[in-house]
């Protein structure tokens, strides 16, 4: 069964600190992996998208890595800010599904950045 598992479920860090969120997936056939940021009461917003051949991708203070062999990804946030407080969702897209899109969503990691 296609699954996306994220850890930890929640995380509290102090402003200015770094953190790393984890994502493990069992999705086949694999197309790409995305990280989304979802602020409370808002829809998910794309941070990064990586295909099979990409190991790392950055978007400002956000850096995502992908190890397609071990089927693991991480999202590293550098020098956290209060505005980073949100849920971070790992989403894997399968090539199977056509127009359905076939996005498999993780449950998300809730990050709280404290002053």
Binding site for other proteins (CB under 8 A): 4, 31-32, 41-46, 49, 89, 93, 98-101, 103-108
Q: C-beta of 81: minimal distance to other proteins in Å? A: 22
Q: How many CB atoms lie within 10 A of CB 44?
A: 18
Q: Which is nearer to other proteins, 31 or 59 (CB)?
A: 31
Least distance (Å) between residue 15 CB and other proteins: 27
Angle (nearest 5°) at CA 97 between 93 and 102: 35
Least spacing, CB of residue 99 vs other proteins, in Å: 3
Nearest residue (CB) to other proteins, 37 versus 80: 37
Q: What contacts 45, CB < 8 A, 6 or more positions away? A: 36, 37, 38, 39
């Amino acid at each position: 069964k296609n699954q996306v598992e994220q850890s930890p479920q929640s995380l509290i860090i102090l402003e200015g600190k770094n953190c790393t969120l984890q994502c493990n997936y069992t999705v086949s056939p694999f197309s790409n992996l995305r990280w989304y940021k979802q602020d409370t009461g808002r829809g998910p917003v794309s941070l990064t998208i990586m295909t099979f051949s990409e190991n790392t991708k950055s978007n400002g203070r956000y850096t995502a890595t992908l190890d397609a062999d071990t089927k693991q990804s991480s999202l590293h946030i550098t020098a956290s800010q209060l505005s980073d407080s949100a849920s971070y969702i790992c989403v894997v897209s399968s090539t199977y599904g056509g127009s359905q899109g076939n996005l498999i969503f993780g449950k998300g990691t809730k990050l709280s950045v404290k002053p």
